[in-house]
């Protein structure tokens, strides 16, 4: 997932980037959360389901 996010949201040279930070912080037992600019957009802890790369990208884009 990390590689997919880095590839999708790579900044364009000279353009402002809408994302201040992308951080993947693993939790215990495979749990993780995705936040965009400090706002939670997905929690595997809450859903119990692993998110596909394309779904993570869609959620992040919707949050921007």
| Per-residue model confidence as pLDDT tens digits over 13-26 | 777 766 777 667 67
**Could you give the count of Cα atoms lying within 13 Å of 52 in the half-sphere of its Cβ?**
3
State the pLDDT at residue 18: 65
Instruction: Summarize the confidence of residues 44-57 as an average pLDDT.
Output: 93
User: Where do the domains of the chain lie?
Assistant: 2-63
Most confidently predicted of 2-16, 18-32, 36-50: 36-50
Please state the pTM of the whole predicted model: 0.75
Note the pLDDT tens digit of each residue in 26-37: 778 888 888 888
State the pLDDT at residue 39: 87
- Alpha helices by DSSP H, listed for 1-64, are 2-8, 44-47, 53-63
């Amino acid at each position: 997932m990390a590689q997919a996010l880095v590839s999708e949201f790579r900044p364009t040279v000279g353009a402002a980037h809408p994302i201040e930070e992308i951080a993947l912080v693993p939790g215990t037992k495979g749990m993780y959360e995705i936040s965009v600019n400090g706002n939670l957009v997905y929690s595997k802890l809450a859903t119990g389901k692993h998110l596909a790369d394309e779904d993570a990208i869609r959620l992040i884009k919707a949050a921007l």
